[in-house]
Amino acid sequence: MKMNKIFFPQYKKGKKGFPLQKGLSILGHIQKAGIQINAECGGKGKCGKCIVRIEKGGEELNKKTKSELRFSLSSKERLACQAKVEKYQKDIIVFIKESGKYQILKEVSGKEFNLNPLTILRNGKVIHNGEVLDNYKGKIYGLAVDVGTTTLVFQIVDLQSGETVATIAKTNPQILYGGDVISRIEYAIVGERKIVYRADEEIKQKIRELQKCVITAINDSLKKFKALTPYIYEAVVVGNSTMRNIFFGLDIFSLGLRPYEPVHKEPITRTAKELSLKIFPKAKVYGPALIGGHAGADALADILSSGIYKSKKPSILIDIGTNGEVIIGNSKKIISATLPAGGAFEGANVSSGAGAVEGAIKNIKIKNGKVLYETIDNKRPAVGICGSGLIDLLAELLRCGIMDKNAKIKKDFKITDKIKLTQADIYQLVNAKAGLKTDQIIMLKHYGIGVKDLDKIYLSGGFGNYINVKNAIKLGLLPDAEDKIVKIGNGALEGAKEMLVSKESRETAEQIAKKIEHIKPNELEKDFTYLVAENMYFTDK
């Protein structure tokens, strides 16, 4: 008896097809196949980003759900998370609506490091921290990796010269399990009925699935550098608490429950072989310490690369990603906090929102009533509005009086025939803005200083690198001190590289992690909810 299959012809691995499973959604089939798709809401039918076209076999699926009817889908289009296999009498052919390649920040500040890695050449041997790994064969390389919630960036570094040999950037394929860390934690720990937790062994299996997803993505990219991979003897991997712990196959259960603290905060070292990372098998793979909550090894790397830990005057460091980090400190005291600020500004829960992908609107101006905009890589037609474009749009609507200081508009604002901003979208954006602003205010108060006392305001990450600073200040997203703002690029990647090439920097990072006070602003401030509501509005600045 012939077994009918589901095919994804756009992808090499999908052309041969996969067995149909009754009751499993198309998204479930895609996840099993390891094919990339944007599923920001984690398959709940809310974001509308997992659109697929059913080229053949649509009659094998359930009817469109109420969730799908909320979106403008053509007769052949479905949401992958809602379309379930009811029959398996015929093959199903599915095309995934591609969202385009992400514009991923590779640039770093270019600071000079003290070259003194743990992996060195001595007496004809490659030695890591006193342990002989291999006979010297002419090269010693390392790998610096920044595992972001949305993106994945890594560098191959010559550990004898400190030079970067190659930089690779791609979308984190875990996005098919959800666009934020909470969605991925839920995927691992919550059962299919959404009301009970999985058994321990099943949770471990799901974490291994998420781990394999990201490590396979790195291995696939490293295939282009086959001549170099046998000489990669060490790696440093940073990411937020969830991303780092998934990479190393560690428990993430506690990060999904109050008080949202990781069980494993200490630095961790594994071999490449243990992780199935396709570099020298005995290579040491190091994950720096976590700070607390969702502030992870990436925030620690940001602190290291910015240098705030050794300055006399306090500075503030802001990294607005899918999960945002705010850090204030100097050589005597450092405090940190995290918040889910970036989701809305990365397009999540915004009707025409988009990630920083090709064709996304990246900046907007309103001139004489006409909307002028540019898209990433100048691709047309526009596919949506990314974070920097959303900031510009809010600022322009405010400037032109189309949106009032209470964040209200009289009707939907059209950018193109298909792209508009609704009142519901604005509420999502101002909520995220208010959360970030409130955290900054409370943290400055807790530290005992004002904006005037800050030496620098460091912006790290892609969002901070690409936004219009004047507009971000106007909206209250950033402190009103433009002259103090410094963009440091991908500080997490730079910090990872610094820990790779300098054992002193690695030791410094471990000491910094121990003295950081991680706070939860909502617990420090009894009027937190009131302050957030107040900060949703705009001032006259």
The model's pLDDT over 15-52, given as tens digits with 9 standing for 90+, comes to 889 999 989 999 999 988 888 787 878 788 888 888 89
Provide CATH code, domain 5-96: 3.10.20.30
CATH level 3 topology of 307-342+430-495+503-513+516-534: Nucleotidyltransferase; domain 5 (3.30.420)
The model's pLDDT over 122-169, given as tens digits with 9 standing for 90+, comes to 999 999 999 999 999 999 999 999 999 888 999 999 999 999 999 998
Contact 264, 244 (CB under 8 A): no
The answer to whether the 119-300 and 307-342+430-495+503-513+516-534 domains have the same CATH topology is: yes
Residues 6+ apart with CB under 8 A from 538: 398, 405, 407, 474, 475, 476
Contact 528, 442 (CB under 8 A): yes
Number of CB atoms found within 10 A of residue 319's CB: 29
Contact 531, 445 (CB under 8 A): no
Contact 36, 175 (CB under 8 A): yes
Residues 6+ apart with CB under 8 A from 399: 366, 474
Round to the nearest angstrom and report the end-to-end CA distance of the chain.
72
Contact 268, 227 (CB under 8 A): no
CA distance linking residue 262 with residue 249, whole number of Å: 13
Number of CB atoms found within 10 A of residue 58's CB: 16
Position 508, amino acid: T
Tokens of 189: 């720990």
Cis peptide before 259 (omega within 30 of 0): yes
Domain boundaries, the chain: 5-96, 119-300, 307-342+430-495+503-513+516-534, 345-428
Number of CB atoms found within 10 A of residue 90's CB: 14
CA distance linking residue 473 with residue 475, whole number of Å: 5
- Treating both helix axes as pointing N-terminal to C-terminal, what angle do 491-501 and 297-306 enclose, rounded to 10 degrees? 80
Closest CA to 339 of 523, 146, 145, 175: 523
The model's pLDDT over 447-462, given as tens digits with 9 standing for 90+, comes to 999 999 999 999 998 7
Max distance between CA atoms of the chain, in angstroms, equals 76
Residues 6+ apart with CB under 8 A from 100: 357, 358, 359, 360, 379, 383
CA distance linking residue 499 with residue 466, whole number of Å: 26
Q: Which sign, positive or negative, has the C-alpha torsion 9, 87, 194, 204?
A: negative
Contact 108, 491 (CB under 8 A): yes
CA distance linking residue 198 with residue 16, whole number of Å: 32
Position 196, amino acid: V
Residues 6+ apart with CB under 8 A from 11: 35
Q: Which residue has the tokens 């009754």?
A: 22
Domain 119-300 -> CATH class = alpha beta
pLDDT of the chain, 541 residues: tens digit per residue:
567 899 998 777 888 899 999 899 999 999 888 887 878 787 888 888 888 989 899 999 999 999 999 887 888 889 999 999 998 789 999 988 765 565 555 566 567 778 999 999 999 999 999 999 999 999 999 999 999 988 899 999 999 999 999 999 888 889 888 878 888 999 999 876 666 788 999 999 999 999 999 999 999 999 999 999 999 999 999 999 999 999 999 999 999 888 889 988 999 999 999 999 999 999 999 999 999 999 999 999 999 999 999 999 999 999 887 778 899 999 999 999 987 655 677 666 788 887 777 888 999 999 998 999 999 888 888 888 988 899 999 999 999 999 999 999 999 999 998 899 999 999 989 988 898 999 999 999 999 999 999 999 999 987 777 889 999 999 999 999 999 999 998 999 999 999 999 999 999 999 999 999 999 998 888 899 999 999 999 876 5
Please tell me what DSSP assigns to residue 536: T
